[in-house]
C-alpha cells in the first residue's frame, strides 16, 4: 500500500540542489512513497528568519503546515534537514497556546500543527527497511568506499528531531550498506560544515569543511554521501576554495544519498543529474561500473 | 480529660509568621483544654521542664505540642511525658512549622491555620488511649550483604565484637571494587596490600561464615528475627575439595571467556580464580564459556584436578539463615560510558574507562602493570583524562557528583608519569572536588610535581585520526577551544547504583532514591540506619563514596548493630493493627494487601479470621482502609480518632 505524503522540497531544491530534488522524487517513486507537492508552498525562512525572530520563522512555516493539513496526507516530508528543523521546531512551539494564537493571527488561518513531520531519509529508512531496499537493488555499489555525512542538524537536537542517534547516527550507513557500498566508519559524520556562514565568514567554512574532506580522504574514501543541500554545497561547490585556502588537492565527489540509491536501483546517471555535481564523480562512478555519460558541463 | 497545649515559637521559625500567643489563647476554648501557653523552644530543656511542671500543677493527662514535624521531635516529647509519669501515647503534635510557618507569609492566615491544626490535634487526643509496648527476643546474628571494603569492615567489626556474621557476596571473591584498584589516593599505596590482609581476616575469622557466589533470595521477619534465604549459585566446583592450586586454569582450552575481574581488558579461561589474592581462593566455571557445559565435550579440568573437585552436574542451592540485623553494603556500579556517543561510545578501542585503566596499571592486571593501548599494545605518550563522564550531567540522568573521580584521576595521572616518565597527561575537568584529608594537596601534586596539564572545560567530541585521537573541548579559563592529541583516552566514569539494588531494597523493605541508591533514615542524624528497623547501610549503596568514607560507614553500621544487640529483648511498637474478631468475616483482603506480610489467616470457632503478627506490622494502615467491614483498626490511628480530627476541621 503506498502512502501519500505532503512533499516540502524547500528553496535549495529549486536551485543549488535541484539534483537532490530530482533524485529524491525518483527514489521515492521507485520505493512506492507517494509525494504530493504542497501547492503554493513558501520558503521556511531558513536561518535568517529563525535567527532574527521566532514568530516570523514560525509564521512562514505555519502557512505551509496549514496548506498541508488541508491535503489529507500521512504527514509532511522534506529532503532538507534545515527545512525539517524549522518545520519540527515550529510544530513543537505551536503547542504553546499563546504562541499558537499569535501565529494563527499572523497567517490568518487555522493551523493544527499536528501532522507528523519527517525527513525523506527517515521515511525511506523507517518505512522501507534497508533489507527490503536491498531487494530492489539491480546494480549494487560494489567496491565504492563511501563515508556517510549527516551534517549537524539531521539528528539534532535529539528531542526535536527524534531520529537516530544524535552522536553516532547509522541510518545512512545502513542504507548505503544495503545498496552494496563499503561504508567506512566516519568520525566526523555529525560535524558542522560551516553552513551558511560561507557567505559572511568564508574562512570558517574552509576550515570546518576542509577538516571533513581531509578526514574522508585520509580514510581512503572514494566519495562522501550527504543528505543536506547546505553540506553538499559547501563540500562540493566550495571544494576548490577549500583546497586553495588549505593548500590541499582534494577531488572528492559529494553525492546525495538519493543519487547513489537511484544508481543502485537502476536509474540512469542523466536522470539522477550527476552532471550537476561540481567535483566530477566520473572516477567514482567508473568504480561502480557506471560509465560516466557526461563530464560536468560548465 | 485534662489537656495541655504548648505552642512553640521555634525562635523566629514559627513566631515570625504565626501569632503563637493568639493560637495558645484560642486553644483555651477547645474542649477539655485545661491549660494552654506559648513557649520559646518547646524541645529545649527549660521547654520540656515547663511541660512537666504544667502536667503536675494542672493535673494534665494529655499533651498537645504545636511545633515542628513529628519526624523531628515526637520521640523527644513522648519521653517528656514518660518522665512526668504519663503514657507516651497520650501525646499529639501539630506541625505548624513545615505545614504552616515555612510555607506561607500571611500572618493572619497562618495563625488561623495553626489554630485549626491545634484544634484537630486536641480532638484526636481526646480519643487517644494508653498503649503499651510488648517485648520480644532477638537473635544476635548479623548478615552483611556485599563483600566490598565497607562490607568487610562491617563484618570484621561485628565479628570482633563477638557477633556471629553471615557475609553474602555475589561474586566468587570478596574485595569488591577496591580489589580491582592498583593504588589508592592520597597515599598512593597498594590497594590489595591494604585490603588483602583484611580479606584474609574475613576468611580466617571463626565468627564469620562467608557465602561467595551467593545472592539474597528473600528476607522475611523483622528486627531481631529475620529469616533469610540465600541462593548459592552453581560454581561447578566442589569448594570443600578445591585447594585453589590453579592447575585447572592452566589447561582449560576455552581461553576467550570474558574477564570480569579485569573489566573486559583481555580474556580469561572458562574455569578460573579471578585474582591471586581472591578470598575464597576457589575456582569457578563460567558456564557460558565452558566447552563441557555448553557442548558436552572436554572435561580437561576434571581430569587434571588433583583433588577431583570438578562437579559439572552442580546445581544452585538455597540455604536458610536466621539473623537479627542486616547490613546492606552492596556498593555501586560504574557508569556505562557507551551512552556518550560523542566520546566514541565503546566504538573506539583506545577510549577506555578509569577502572579498565586501573587494571592496566595493576601489576596483577592483564598487562602485568605495563600501560599498553588495547588496539595495538603500544605504550601511549599522550594520555587524556576526561572527568565527569556520567557525573553532574542531567542529560544522562546523572546530575549528582560521584565524588571520587577527581581524586582517582589525579592518582592515575601521577601513576601514568611513574610508569612512563616521558608521557604527558591532560585532564579535562569541570571543577576539582577534593575535600578530604590531604586530598587537595594530592591533586596539586599531580599538577605541580607530575606536570599533569589540567584544562577546565568539557570535551565535546573525540575523533580518531591517523592512529591516535583528537580530543576537542573547551578551555573555559582561556576562553578558547582546544584540541589535544591523545594516544589513549581515559574516561573518569562516575558511579551509579549497583545492578539489582532496587530489587534488593524491595526484599529488605527499605527505600531507595530515584537513582537506585538506598535511603538513609535521616541525611544528617541517621546516616547508616534505614527506616526499616534492624537494617543498616554501609558504603556506596547509599551514595558514591571513597574508601575512607566506606570504611567509616562500615564501622558505624557495625556499632549500630552492636548497640541494637546490647539488649536481650526489644520493645515492640504498639502502633500496629488489631482485628476485631466478631466483625471480621474472613475475606482475607487485608492479607493480600499487606505489603509486609504481617497478616495471617487463622481459624476462630470454625470461621476464618485475620490475625496480625504484631512484630511484623509496620503500622502503615493499608489493611485498615482495605477492610470492607471496618474490622481492622490501626492503633493510635483508629477511625474514631481520624473522624474526630475531620469533625474538628469541618464542624458544619
Q: What is the mean pLDDT of residues B390-398?
A: 94
Query: Which tens digits make up the pLDDT trace of A237-278?
Result: 999 999 999 999 999 999 999 999 999 999 988 889 999 999
Banded model confidence at residue A290, pLDDT cuts 50, 70, 90: low
Through-space distance between the first and last CA atoms of chain A, rounded to whole angstroms? 43
Q: Which residues of B touch A187 (CB under 8 A)?
A: 463-465
Closest to A106 (Cα-Cα) out of A53, A68, A52: A53
| pLDDT band for position B71 (cuts 50, 70, 90) | confident
3-class DSSP state for residue B637?
A: strand
pLDDT in tens, B151-179: 999 999 999 999 999 999 999 999 999 99
Cα separation, B410 vs B144, whole angstroms: 32
Contacts of A165 in chain B (CB under 8 A): 341
Q: Which pLDDT score, from 0 to 100, does residue B160 have?
A: 97
CB atoms within 10 A of CB A25: 20
Question: CB under 8 Å to B325, separation ≥6 — which residues?
Answer: B142, B143, B223, B224, B226, B534, B535, B536, B561, B564, B565
Are A218 and B466 a contacting pair at CB < 8 A?
A: yes
- Please classify residue B160 by burial: count the beta carbons closer than 10 Å to its beta carbon, then call 0-12 exposed, 13-18 middle and 19+ buried: middle
C-alpha distances (whole Å) from B42 to each of B47, B77, B215 are 4, 9, 48
Nearest CA distance, A97 vs chain B (angstrom): 27
Residue B466 is predicted with a pLDDT of 85
Distance between CA atoms of residues A148 and B221, nearest Å: 61
**What is the length of chain A?**
298
**Cα–Cα distance measured from residue B157 to residue B536, given in angstroms and rounded to the nearest whole number:** 14
A224 CA: distance to closest CA in chain B (Å): 17
The residue of chain B nearest to residue A220, with distances taken between CA atoms, is: B466
Helix (H) or strand (E) holding B343: none
Residues of A in contact with B461 (CB under 8 A): 167, 191
Q: What angle do CA A241, A245, A250 make, to 5 degrees?
A: 65
pLDDT of residue B191: 95
B190-218 pLDDT, tens digit each: 999 999 999 999 999 999 999 999 999 99
CB contact under 8 A, B341 and A165: yes
CB A63 within 8 A of CB A108: no
- Residue the block writes with cell 480532638: B123
Asked whether the beta carbons of residue A168 and residue B341 sit closer than 8 angstroms, the reply is yes
CB–CB of B601/B610 below 8 Å?
Answer: yes
| pLDDT for position A297 | 41
Contacts of B340 in chain A (CB under 8 A): 167
- Number of other residues whose CB lies within 10 A of the CB of residue A266: 11
> B222 falls in which pLDDT band (50, 70, 90)?
confident
Q: Which of residues 434-493 of B touch A (CB under 8 A)?
A: 461, 463-466
Checking ipTM against 0.90, whether it exceeds it is no
What span, in angstroms and rounded, lies between the C-alpha atoms of B318 and B159? 24
Name residue, grid cell 512553640: B8
Q: What is the DSSP string of B193-239?
A: HHHHHHHHHHHH-TTEEEE-SEEEEEEEEETTEEEEEEEE---SB-T
**B349 touches A at CB < 8 Å:** no
Cross-chain residue pair B347–A185, CB shorter than 8 Å: yes
The stretch B359-383 carries a mean pLDDT of 94
Per-residue model confidence as pLDDT tens digits over A160-200: 999 999 999 999 999 999 999 999 999 999 999 999 898 89
Given a cut of 60, whether residue A291 has pLDDT beyond it is: no
What is the arithmetic mean of pLDDT over B377-404? 96
| Mean pLDDT to the nearest integer, B523-527 | 91
Cell numbers standing for residue B4: 495541655
Q: Which residues of B touch A167 (CB under 8 A)?
A: 340-342, 345, 461
CB distance B541 to B332 below 8 Å: yes
Give the pLDDT band (50/70/90) at residue B226. very high
User: Residue A293: pLDDT above 70?
Assistant: no
The minimal CB distance from A166 to the residues B341, B463, B466 is found for B341
Residues forming a β-bridge with B65 = B6, B93
What is the average pLDDT across B360-367?
A: 93
Looking at residue B616, its pLDDT comes to: 82
Contact at CB, A185 and B466, closer than 8 angstroms:
no
**Residues belonging to chain A with any Cβ–Cβ distance to chain B shorter than 8 Å:** 165-168, 185, 187-188, 191, 215, 218
Which pTM value belongs to this model? 0.84
Contact criterion met (CB < 8 Å) for A167 and B464: no
pLDDT of residue A2: 53
B341:A218 CB<8 A:
no
Strand bridging mode B535-537 / B632-634: unpaired
Inform me whether the pLDDT recorded for B271 exceeds 70: yes
Q: Which of A165, A185, A215 shows the shortest C-beta gap to B465?
A: A215
Strands B607-612 vs B599-604: parallel, antiparallel or unpaired: antiparallel
Angle at A270 between CA A269 and CA A271, to 5 degrees: 95
Amino acid at each position: 500500500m503506498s502512502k501519500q505524503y505532503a512533499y516540502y522540497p524547500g528553496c535549495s531544491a529549486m536551485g543549488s540542489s535541484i539534483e537532490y530534488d530530482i533524485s529524491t522524487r525518483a527514489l521515492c517513486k521507485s520505493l512506492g512513497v507517494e509525494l504530493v507537492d504542497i501547492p503554493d508552498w513558501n520558503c521556511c525562512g531558513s536561518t535568517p528568519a529563525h535567527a532574527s525572530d521566532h514568530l516570523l520563522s514560525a509564521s512562514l512555516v505555519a502557512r505551509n503546515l496549514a496548506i498541508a493539513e488541508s491535503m489529507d496526507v500521512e504527514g509532511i516530508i522534506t529532503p532538507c534537514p534545515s527545512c525539517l528543523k524549522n518545520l519540527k521546531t515550529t510544530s513543537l512551539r505551536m503547542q504553546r497556546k499563546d504562541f499558537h494564537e499569535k501565529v494563527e493571527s499572523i497567517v490568518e488561518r487555522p493551523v493544527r500543527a499536528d501532522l507528523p513531520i519527517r525527513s525523506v531519509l527517515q521515511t525511506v529508512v523507517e518505512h522501507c527497511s534497508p533489507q527490503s531496499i536491498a531487494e530492489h537493488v539491480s546494480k549494487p555499489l560494489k567496491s565504492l568506499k563511501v563515508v556517510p555525512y549527516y551534517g549537524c542538524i539531521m539528528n539534532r537536537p535529539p528531542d526535536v528531531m527524534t531520529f537516530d542517534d544524535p552522536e553516532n547516527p547509522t541510518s545512512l550507513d545502513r542504507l548505503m550498506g544495503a545498496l552494496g557500498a563499503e561504508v567506512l566508519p566516519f568520525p566526523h559524520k555529525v560535524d558542522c560544515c560551516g553552513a551558511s556562514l560561507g557567505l559572511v565568514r568564508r574562512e570558517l567554512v574552509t576550515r570546518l569543511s576542509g577538516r571533513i574532506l581531509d578526514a574522508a580522504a585520509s580514510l581512503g574514501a572514494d566519495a562522501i554521501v550527504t543528505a543536506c543541500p547546505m553540506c553538499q554545497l559547501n563540500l562540493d561547490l566550495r571544494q576548490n576554495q577549500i583546497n586553495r585556502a588549505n593548500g590541499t588537492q582534494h577531488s572528492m565527489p559529494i553525492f546525495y544519498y538519493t543519487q547513489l540509491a537511484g544508481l543502485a536501483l537502476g536509474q540512469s546517471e542523466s536522470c539522477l543529474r550527476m552532471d550537476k555535481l561540481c567535483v566530477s564523480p566520473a572516477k567514482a562512478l567508473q568504480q561502480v561500473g557506471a560509465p560516466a555519460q557526461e563530464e560536468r558541463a560548465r | 480529660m485534662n489537656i495541655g497545649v504548648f505552642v512553640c515559637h521555634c525562635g523566629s521559625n514559627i513566631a515570625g509568621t504565626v501569632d503563637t500567643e493568639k493560637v495558645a489563647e484560642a486553644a483555651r476554648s477547645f474542649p477539655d483544654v485545661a491549660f494552654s501557653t506559648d513557649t520559646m523552644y518547646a524541645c529545649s530543656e527549660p521547654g520540656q521542664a515547663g511541660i512537666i511542671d504544667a502536667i503536675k500543677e494542672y493535673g494534665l493527662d494529655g499533651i498537645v505540642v504545636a511545633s515542628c514535624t513529628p519526624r523531628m521531635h515526637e520521640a523527644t516529647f513522648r519521653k517528656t511525658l514518660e518522665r512526668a509519669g504519663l503514657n507516651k501515647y497520650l501525646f499529639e503534635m501539630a506541625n505548624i512549622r513545615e505545614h504552616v510557618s515555612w510555607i506561607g507569609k500571611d500572618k493572619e492566615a497562618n495563625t488561623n491555620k495553626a489554630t485549626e491544626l491545634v484544634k484537630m490535634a486536641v480532638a484526636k487526643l481526646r480519643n487517644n488511649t494508653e498503649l503499651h509496648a510488648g517485648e520480644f527476643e532477638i537473635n544476635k546474628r548479623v548478615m552483611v550483604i556485599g563483600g566490598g571494603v565497607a562490607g568487610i569492615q562491617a563484618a570484621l567489626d561485628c565479628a570482633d565484637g563477638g557477633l556471629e556474621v553471615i557475609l553474602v557476596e555475589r561474586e566468587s571473591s570478596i574485595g569488591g571494587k577496591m580489589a580491582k584498584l592498583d593504588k589508592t589516593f592520597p597515599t598512593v599505596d597498594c590497594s590489595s596490600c591494604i585490603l588483602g590482609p583484611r580479606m584474609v581476616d574475613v576468611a580466617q575469622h571463626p565468627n564469620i561464615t562467608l557465602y561467595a557466589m551467593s545472592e539474597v533470595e528473600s528476607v522475611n521477619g523483622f528486627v531481631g528475627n529475620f529469616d533469610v534465604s540465600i541462593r548459592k549459585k552453581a560454581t561447578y566446583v566442589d569448594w570443600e575439595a578445591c585447594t585453589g592450586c590453579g592447575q585447572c586454569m592452566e589447561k582449560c582450552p576455552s581461553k576467550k571467556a570474558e574477564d570480569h575481574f579485569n573489566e573486559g581488558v583481555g580474556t580469561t579461561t572458562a574455569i578460573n580464580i579471578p585474582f591471586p589474592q581472591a578470598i575464597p581462593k576457589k575456582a569457578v566455571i563460567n558456564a557460558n564459556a565452558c566447552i563441557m557445559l555448553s557442548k558436552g565435550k572436554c572435561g580437561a579440568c576434571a581430569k587434571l584436578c588433583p583433588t577431583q573437585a570438578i562437579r559439572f552436574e552442580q546445581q544452585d542451592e538455597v540455604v536458610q539463615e536466621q539473623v537479627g540485623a542486616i547490613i546492606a553494603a552492596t556498593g555501586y556500579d560504574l557508569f556505562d560510558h557507551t551512552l556518550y556517543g560523542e566520546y566514541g561510545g565503546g566504538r573506539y578501542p583506545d577510549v577506555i574507562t578509569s577502572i579498565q585503566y586501573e587494571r592496566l596499571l595493576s601489576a596483577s592486571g592483564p598487562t602485568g602493570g605495563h600501560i599498553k593501548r588495547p588496539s595495538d599494545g603500544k605504550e601511549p605518550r599522550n594520555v587524556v583524562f576526561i572527568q565527569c563522564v556520567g557525573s553532574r550531567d542531567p542529560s544522562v540522568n546523572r546530575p549528582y557528583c560521584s565524588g571520587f573521580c577527581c581524586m582517582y584521576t589525579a592518582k592515575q595521572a601521577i601513576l601514568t608519569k611513574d610508569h612512563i616518565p616521558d608521557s604527558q597527561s591532560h585532564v579535562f575537568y569541570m571543577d576539582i572536588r577534593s575535600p578530604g584529608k590531604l586530598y587537595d594537596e594530592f591533586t596539586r601534586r599531580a599538577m605541580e610535581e607530575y606536570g599533569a596539564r589540567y584544562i577546565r572545560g568539557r570535551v565535546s567530541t573525540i575523533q580518531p585520526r591517523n592512529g591516535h585521537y583528537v580530543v576537542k573541548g573547551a578551555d573555559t579559563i582561556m576562553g578558547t577551544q582546544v584540541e589535544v592529541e591523545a594516544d589513549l583516552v581515559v574516561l573518569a566514569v562516575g558511579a551509579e547504583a549497583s545492578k539489582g539494588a532496587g530489587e534488593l531494597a524491595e526484599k529488605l523493605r527499605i527505600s531507595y532514591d530515584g537513582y537506585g541508591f538506598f535511603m538513609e533514615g535521616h541525611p544528617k542524624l541517621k546516616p547508616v540506619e534505614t527506616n526499616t528497623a534492624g537494617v543498616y547501610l554501609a558504603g556506596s549503596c547509599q551514595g558514591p563514596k571513597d574508601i575512607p568514607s566506606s570504611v567509616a560507614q562500615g564501622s558505624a553500621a557495625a556499632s549500630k548493630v552492636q548497640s541494637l544487640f546490647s539488649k536481650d529483648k526489644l520493645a515492640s511498637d504498639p502502633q500496629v493493627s488489631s482485628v476485631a474478631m466478631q466483625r471480621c468475616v474472613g475475606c482475607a483482603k487485608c492479607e493480600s494487601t499487606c505489603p509486609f506480610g504481617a497478616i495471617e489467616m487463622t481459624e476462630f470457632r470454625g470461621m476464618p479470621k485475620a490475625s496480625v503478627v504484631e512484630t511484623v506490622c509496620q503500622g502503615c494502615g493499608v489493611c485498615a482502609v482495605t477492610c470492607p467491614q471496618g474490622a481492622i483498626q490501626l492503633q493510635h490511628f483508629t477511625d474514631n480518632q481520624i473522624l474526630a480530627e475531620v469533625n474538628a476541621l469541618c464542624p458544619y
